[in-house]
Structure 1
């Protein structure tokens, strides 16, 4: 916004955008903007047209093209059933019944008693009131821990742990009801518990291209007949299952969860008692699973198909795909943060991971911060440069080709969530029950993983400090916290749950009300949470409270705003979570400073209604105008734009994890050594031009580069004695003329080649010759 102040002219596509920017300008900078609308002169019109013309044209698609979504899991999971049990259909999107035409719950106002130290308190935003007791809910409303454990990891973490965690509301359930029993009656298909993939699965018929999915079906089977049965069952849903070896797959998940997950969240274990060396066996299993997934994709892919690989489980898959199909159009999207280069360089396989990712044509990140860390890591570890191309596209030069970098976070299906809530009486009734239980109180709500990075202990301590500092809140403010267990950190989850319960009991005991013994300031629920329960909690809450220590793009705040529709609400977010950059209205806090978090709670309670409405409206409009489908379409368009040009020749280079695809102009021709030898023998005069470093000698300039031109030219390595002997043999032939080409200083070349009599030197890119 500040940058706009330095512009002579700023063009907007519509008046609404202009008005919105002026409001943000006034709010963030304290400036008052005077808007004048005037007809543009010819020069200004031409400038505007040139600016708009920079936009990249929409790429062309072949009628036979399709998109293959490659992820660790499929959007559907397969479970083994008893042959005697009746087949169960996939659930429809939601029950068709609804409560009222508006879908809104009844309103209420919060009022606080005046006390000596408190200023006049405002009434909070009106929200819903009443909720069914948990005991009246059926067990099927909650995800079963046994089903989660069957996967060997925390499936509720969705495709990217900590990002859209539990955000599904399972759009996978929006499938048409149909029998899902396999032909032999052994297996059934059920919606996945992940967040993004079911959404993409639900939207696959709305895209311009056919979409297919490749991944693990959620069950390990070794019998080939059963594997064929599962494959046949999933074929109707455009899904191709992969059946990895169970032990190998478990090792792969262990590497993901114990090595990649914490490190990519900028967490390094410094405790000397827990430090262990890098496990090469786990790394080998990780590579093997990536190769298995790539092979499965290649069995499905057509020559012009686009392959969209997802998340940190498959960082090397682009490399294995392009190893066999060099022209493959491969995109990769990372759904978790990318660490700073200082943290990433601690990983022994750092270069291998970067090279694996760079084999893709397009690499996507949620936020610029993550992309910036990736670009710096490529520069520091591989010496790669990046630049902007026409249309504002960010490219990395790698092996003679451009790898595009895309920045854009995933969104929620705002309209779908609203329709689900308004059409489901269970959600609305549960929300009313919560409000009835806490009538007249301000409710902070949150849903987090039960792990250390969620910052749950800091949140409880901040709430404790809030009750200590602001006496008006005692008995008038509550915190409802859901913490769902994670399978991948089972021991840590159990320890965290114990510590969290003890701290919550301590806080509740400290601020217990003698006249209301049943009242608790903090309600803690350590259990899996279903989408109905979560959305009911969000609908009833007045403010979403997040104190994550490290997190990716948490979509829960997005859903919280969506659940309120027109009811003004507030959001407090940790500055260490990705969504704090995406939401303009959120109050950002440092979770380590509990006093500041407590002050933010007081601020959100007492914020003027107009200010809160203005903040809420901006983010609601932002979320309602974007969607998962729009995000996916934009990624597919950018992936097609990033495909390898047809006028280039692509060759493979390197072995193992050093493999890369080199792009060269189609006019480039490989040196035919036999033709050179024949020409050498029959020619009377021969001229040889040799590049120095990189051809006759190893190029050490990137490795030894330090700021300052003198230091750069002072370092390097001359050709070996064997190479010098060969050069001398060529020079000794009177029919030969040998010239060394280099950008090095003349005196340095003379020092390196002075022992070779009769050789020509072309130094400083032709400025000096000897």
Structure 2
């Protein structure tokens, strides 16, 4: 029976050695909570590093046995592994690059070597437990190489990858000497998930430009697999935070803290020590607020929690010193005997004390310079059971795409952050309630459990599509059957794509003209059957190349048609295909759900998204997002996106090869039909063919065609067999 294997750098436990025995304390993180519903079922397991350096073989065996009871399997790392792979490549090369802090990137070869070695250790541990039909879900940037390592050993396994940090633009990723290997590692997956559409777009762009893999509507065709790339914004355990906010333990903490702080407005900020979090910029903005607005002195305080992280690394030590200095500066300048502007804690807090901070704070200031998602803002909103409070959120956090009712700020704009705090402090309770309620409704619906379900459902869908699109190699048996059918036919027709099918690709398109062998082959074939050259080439080029040949031609992917027996010139073919509407409508409906007042109008050959009734500002914001999303989808569907007055219209301005091919066959009875093509524009031809047709895709990409053939040379061999 198949099982699911969860893989992450760290296991969801902390390991402590006490009184000669190992103790395991479960992790309380959101990911551990969400994935608990998976790895605790059946034979499923979680694979990862237990977090300690254990060299002794006997102790390792003891840990393996204990973790087995918890449905976990350890990957043991040495001190050197941790130093070079985790502290080194993961956190000094990938982390700064992916968060756009290029000045901190360390290009150390020894780091990369350790990264490859440790990814292989993970692979070996998984292979010892995995079966070919298992599902393996790999998490995060420490294991980018792992999916392809696993794929090489388990070609039929279901492999998924989710990245919890941002994915940078092509301009950043290209700086890394190992960019190709990293991307190749990731495309070993069947499904690759990111928090936001922007991250997904950056990844697809990089894969296209570095690996040369094209994509259609988020599906990459690589090797013999279809890979889906999608955005899955991660949620939190909403109930856990909303219940904790009303628990007796939390309310006792709230009462105690409020007595100590007195009657004042509270801002809460909680971060791990990291340069991506924008902590110094936040303190400077709060300092400016107190300088510009003396009326807030004694009335507003900031509770600042900074959780220790990597404090042995020099850049983090420098950051800690800067934060200490800035806090010291603001407190020494503005403090009075009964008021301190910043209550600064360099440590972590127990869950109920954090819950108390969320519950009692009037404002959450979440302003990272760059963040994949950021769950602190979601935890704050979920804790506001009394519906009072304001969230100030950085546009650079993935969560800003969902929590549009927060006050969104650019964390690099100090003046803007100050104005946002002033707006939050003066916001009336009715508006606070409206905003919090709207955000809570969204977070409740898409919590951590829903995130896991949606991801796993999508993975299942991808595997189903792969199975659907699997095509067979044109082996000897099928080839013999095809030739026999052709020779027995009284009225055969053959559709031939040109570039990549009859000829290989050239660096200069004009150099791919038909050679004498091809001209002779087509001339002979056209004497015994109807030949249709169906190409994306312009009609002038196609007409010139096949001048004097007794062939029908379809040019520019089906825009122009020319029959061999027609004296007149090319005919413009202008029918319309609406099969694209289902996919696009789904996306538009998603934006309607997120945009009160928006609606969809369906016309004969287009879909229109109206936002005239939407609140000013929100309509423009959503329209920009939808425009970007549709433009991206339009490429795969050959569509055109038009921006009008308070509307966004998507329509098909031309037609495709399939429609043109059908038009060519209309009114005729054929007893043998064959179509050959090599790219996504030929898929329309394959789809349009009758069920009895032989449809053949050149190359081993996934396809709607019945069969695959290797290359143009094999195509010519096939055509030669037909005329023998």
Same fold by TM-score, threshold 0.5 exceeded? yes
1:398 counterpart (222, 225, 233): 222
Matched, 1:265 2:99: yes
Q: Which residue of 1 aligns with 2:8?
A: 71
The answer on whether the counterparts of 2:30 and 2:237 sit within 8 Å (CA) in structure 1 is: no
Matched, 1:519 2:339: yes
Matched, 1:490 2:316: no
Deviations 1:297-352 (A, max 9, x none): 22222333211111111112111111111111111111111111221222222222
- Residues 142-221 of structure 1: pairs in structure 2 closer than 5 A: 186-192=21-27, 195-200=29-34, 202-204=36-38, 211-221=44-54
Matched, 1:477 2:300: yes
Normalised to the residue count of structure 1, the TM-score between the two structures is 0.62
* CA shift for structure 1 position 434: 2.0
Matched, 1:317 2:146: yes
2:274 counterpart (443, 451, 466): 451
1:304 counterpart (101, 113, 133): 133
The answer on whether the counterparts of 1:572 and 1:600 sit within 8 Å (CA) in structure 2 is: yes
Q: Which residue of 2 aligns with 1:468?
A: 291
* CA shift for structure 1 position 664: 5.3
- Residues 326-725 of structure 1: pairs in structure 2 closer than 5 A: 326-388=155-217, 394-423=218-247, 425=249, 427-487=250-310, 490-513=313-336, 516=337, 518-643=338-463, 665-666=471-472, 668-669=473-474, 699=505, 701=507, 713-714=509-510
Deviations 1:583-639 (A, max 9, x none): 132101112221211111111111122111100111122223332222112211211
The answer on whether the counterparts of 2:245 and 2:384 sit within 8 Å (CA) in structure 1 is: no
RMSD: 4.2
SS in 2 for 1:430: helix
Deviations 1:532-566 (A, max 9, x none): 33222112211101221111211111111222212
Deviations 1:470-521 (A, max 9, x none): 22211111111111221176322322222222222222233244xx3x4211
Higher helix proportion:
2
- Distance 1:330-1:275 versus aligned 2 partners, 3 A rule: closer
- Distance 1:544-1:692 versus aligned 2 partners, 3 A rule: same
Cα distance in 1 for residues equivalent to 2:119 and 2:179:
16
Q: Which residue of 2 aligns with 1:248?
A: 81
The answer on whether the counterparts of 1:73 and 1:215 sit within 8 Å (CA) in structure 2 is: yes
* CA shift for structure 1 position 69: 0.5
- Distance 1:546-1:697 versus aligned 2 partners, 3 A rule: same
Please list every run of at least 4 consecutive aligned residues from structure 1 whose deviation after the TM superposition is greater than 6 angstroms: 689-698, 724-727, 741-752, 760-769
Counting matched residue pairs gives 547
Greater relative CO, 1 or 2 (CA 8 Å, sep 6+): 1
* CA shift for structure 1 position 237: 1.0
Cα distance in 2 for residues equivalent to 1:762 and 1:280:
58
Matched, 1:81 2:24: no
The answer on whether the counterparts of 1:538 and 1:560 sit within 8 Å (CA) in structure 2 is: yes
Deviations 1:219-274 (A, max 9, x none): 222333322221111111111111234423432111011111111112212xxxx7
SS in 2 for 1:619: helix
* CA shift for structure 1 position 460: 1.3
* CA shift for structure 1 position 286: 1.4
Cα distance in 1 for residues equivalent to 2:40 and 2:551:
64
Structure 1 residues not aligned, in runs of 5+: 1-63, 84-185, 389-393, 649-662, 676-688, 705-712, 731-738, 753-759
